[in-house]
Structure 1
Amino acid sequence: MAEPLDDAAITGRLRELPGWTRDGGQIRRRVRAPSFMAGIELVREVARAAEDADHHPDIDIRWRTVTFALSTHSAGGLTGKDFDLAARIDEIAARHGAE
């Protein structure tokens, strides 16, 4: 099982991920896709990456706005898995033209 990160480690990892913020025991990012269908394709690709990582974000879709929330529930907080997947989501979002 992944070990929860302490506050200093979380703060340090967040510096590497512009656009992500801490919200209690999770990190969140909201992106705006160029179109509704681009947002859906973004979510589809993130879903594949999440399956590969065996780590799944909460995803909220509101027309072109997609919000991702990450937490390692089994560890009771934030772990390196959350930040690794957040970085992957950033790569995918950039490829899909999401801001």
Structure 2
Amino acid sequence: MSDFTRMAALRKRHYGLEAIPDTIVVPALGARRPEAAVKRIEDATLDDIAFALRGIEAEFNAVGDRLHALRRLYVLAREAGALGCERPIDLLADGGR
């Protein structure tokens, strides 16, 4: 059985693995590996997956930070009485209404 077939079978057997990517990006590792490497999931070691997770977690955290900031901007503007057609910067930048 090929690695591709084995991976497909694994995805079917385990609900949580349905969304596993076909490839992962292993970030650069300083002098040991100066450039990021893309690996097929079938070829990835546990260490490769661990390093890929660190990169994905950094991306996830950045998205979460943007989400929180936008949500906070929205809430602050609404609390200041902003209407949907108004720009938050006009209400909040100079100390609110």
TM-score by length of structure 2 reads: 0.32
Structure number with larger C-alpha Rg? 2
Q: Indicate the structure with greater strand content.
A: 1
Q: Indicate the structure with greater helix content.
A: 2
Instruction: Give the number of the structure with larger relative contact order, counting CA–CA contacts within 8 Å between residues 6 or more apart.
Output: 1
